Amino acid sequence: MTELIDTTEMYLKTVYELEEDGVPPLRARIVERLDHSGPTVSQTVARMERDGLIKVAEDRSLELTDDVIRKHRLAERLLPDVIGIERRFVHEEACRWEHVMSEQVEERLADILDDVSTDPFGNPVPPRTAEHPRPSADEVSVDRFAGRETTTAVVSRIGEPIQADAEIIAGLEDAQIVAGAEVELRVS
């Protein structure tokens, strides 16, 4: 049963991350991101649709609710800000917390954190109601800077796939590359 819950939440988070990255959340993108087979993804999405966790739109994109992401990102904010966990360990620990957090705890946590709008990596925390926030039109991926000699940018957020690697997070922090930091991008 735990594996089923973990798979479902992993799919929900992946769809949410794709939306944040401006990538249409299609089954094919889940296949790429999670390295699962096409039939496995289709079966899982069909089960999630049957269970009311996800909706397949007319254009075949996937739409979902924000519950899992909200719990995850509130936990990500609590762990370093209140408990003092090092940021490089926050993502993995929050993955554990999101599975056991009740709605009552989620709401109380939001109160304690004063309805914080972002996680410590700059990613938006879905609000208590309404749709989840979309990336700003000013926000672009680092890969869009390819081919330019040098440019300056502000780190708006660090995506979930990078957060999963504690060594990368530690390296970014050592280089003072965190959400809100101004960085210089150079071709190497």
What's the whole-number average pLDDT of the chain?
84
Predicted confidence (pLDDT) per residue in 123-181, tens digit: 889 888 755 555 565 666 665 666 667 888 888 888 877 887 889 889 989 999 888 88
Main-chain dihedrals φ then ψ at residue 54, nearest 5 degrees: -150, 155
* DSSP sequence for 55-118: EE-TTS-EEE-SHHHHHHHHHHHHIIIII---HHHHHHHHHHHHHH--HHHHHHHHHHTTS-SB
Q: Taking a C-beta distance cutoff of 8 angstroms, is the pair 175, 145 a contact?
A: no
Q: Taking a C-beta distance cutoff of 8 angstroms, is the pair 63, 11 a contact?
A: no
Domain ranges across the chain: 7-64, 142-185
Class of domain 7-64: mainly alpha
Predicted confidence (pLDDT) per residue in 63-83, tens digit: 866 677 888 899 999 999 999
pTM summary value: 0.66
Highest mean pLDDT among 4-8, 22-26, 79-83: 79-83
